[in-house]
Amino acid sequence: MAALTEAELRQWIDRLAPRLIALSVGICRDRHRAEEIVQDAFVKLWNRPPDGGERAFPAWMRRVVTNASINALQRTRRYAPLPEHVGDATTRQGDTALADALGREDRERLWAALDRLAPGKRAILLLRAAEGLSYEAIATHLDVPIGTVMSRLSRARAALEEVLSTMREEEGGPVFSFEQHHEARSERA
């Protein structure tokens, strides 16, 4: 496919950038770095769009941003706390499904727990919960079989539950339960 014009690129930036930045911030926990990663991804899109035409752009961009965010975090081995503004609904336009289902206090606890997870586990949970991708879409996005997605999600959920349980013990009270939330959402669907 031929390179995009500046006008076409601007349209794609307007359409995709907020969710991509939210996804990247969720993984690498650094707004500035996330904006740079998304900017670099759009430069790649502009210079050499993926095969498959415009229908492939959103998934391709999510894949590029996810991988770059994980790589950036792993390169620096920096596990800084999640910035406070990440939970702000105006900043995190990409997690509306997650935000709708959770109260503010639960979101803060969930983000604190996600902050303790390895980048790959956090990324797959965000792709499922915040981005709302199906198992099939995640498999395509990560270029792995569906069974691998299912096992990775299962391990990530178990790790998140363990962190939440630890937090519950540290706080001495009830803490958001990812499994209960997930089961409640499934029953409503």
Q: What angle do CA 52, 56, 58 make, to 5 degrees?
A: 165
3-state SS class at 103 = coil
Q: Find all residues with CB under 8 Å of 55, minimum gap 6, and list them.
A: none
Task: Report percent pLDDT > 90 for the chain.
Answer: 14
Token duo for residue 186: 């499934």
Q: What angle do CA 89, 94, 98 make, to 5 degrees?
A: 75
Mean pLDDT of 60-71: 90
**Residue 187, pLDDT above cutoff 70:** no
Q: How many CB atoms lie within 10 A of CB 36?
A: 15
Q: What is the pLDDT of residue 181?
A: 55
- Whole-model pTM: value is 0.57
**Residue 26, pLDDT above cutoff 50:** yes
3-state SS class at 4 = coil
Task: Quickly tell me which residue has 């911030």 as its tokens.
Answer: 25
How far apart (Å, rounded) are the C-alpha atoms in residues 122 and 125? 5
Q: What is the pLDDT of residue 87?
A: 42
Q: What is the mean pLDDT of the chain?
A: 77
How far apart (Å, rounded) are the C-alpha atoms in residues 152 and 156? 6
Q: What angle do CA 140, 143, 145 make, to 5 degrees?
A: 80
Mean pLDDT of 119-140: 84
Q: How many CB atoms lie within 10 A of CB 41?
A: 24
Residue type, 7: A
Q: Which of 105, 125, 128, 115 is nearest to 175 (CA)?
A: 105
Mean pLDDT of 75-98: 46
Q: Are 123 and 66 in contact (CB under 8 A)?
A: yes
Mean pLDDT of 96-123: 74
pLDDT band at 85 (very low <50, low <70, confident <90, very high): very low
Q: How far from the centroid of its chain's Cα atoms is residue 86's Cα?
A: 12
